[in-house]
Amino acid sequence: MCDIVYKNGLKFTCTQCSKCCRFDPGFVFLTYSDLDRILLYLHLSKNEFIEKYCRTVNIGEQKRLSLIEKPDFDCIFWNKGGCDIYNSRPLQCRTYPFWKPFLTDRDAWDREAESCAGMNNGSVVDKEAIENCLVLRKTENYILL
């Protein structure tokens, strides 16, 4: 039923308020593709990157790799000018807010919009682009440790 919510697309234009990158504790889980892309971008070895920028998070019986945060809970890659790895940012960041839990019904979308000024704002993102986000999130594999 989730296609009902976005069959005519959904309005989203990021206002660059930075709220989803900063202020509150959270996880930015990495996929294998994220890791490859970021390593290339930063010219770091896998071990160097993991040691400097990552932590292990227990999710049930799984252990996933997440970016670390600064003491004020800003993402480790957040800087005054924005995201230091923007062009190589993780899938989780690239696909927000087109995540399945926010597309189950209109209320779920509107509830999330209370935390993101870009939702219900600006241009319409079409059904195809939204489905592309969903497919990517379904098919890319998160790093399990």
Q: Which residues bind ligand SF4 (CB under 6 A)?
A: 14-21, 28, 75, 77-78, 83, 85, 89-90, 93, 96, 116-118
Question: Shortest gap between Cβ of 38 and ligand SF4 (angstroms)?
Answer: 9
Residues in contact with 91: Cβ distance below 8 Å, sequence separation at least 6, in sequence order: 31, 33, 34, 136, 137, 140
Strands (E), 25-77: 54-59, 62-67
Question: Shortest gap between Cβ of 95 and ligand SF4 (angstroms)?
Answer: 11
Question: Shortest gap between Cβ of 136 and ligand SF4 (angstroms)?
Answer: 15
Q: Dihedral through CA 26, CA 80, CA 114, CA 98, nearest 10?
A: -70
- 5 or 98: CB nearest ligand SF4: 98
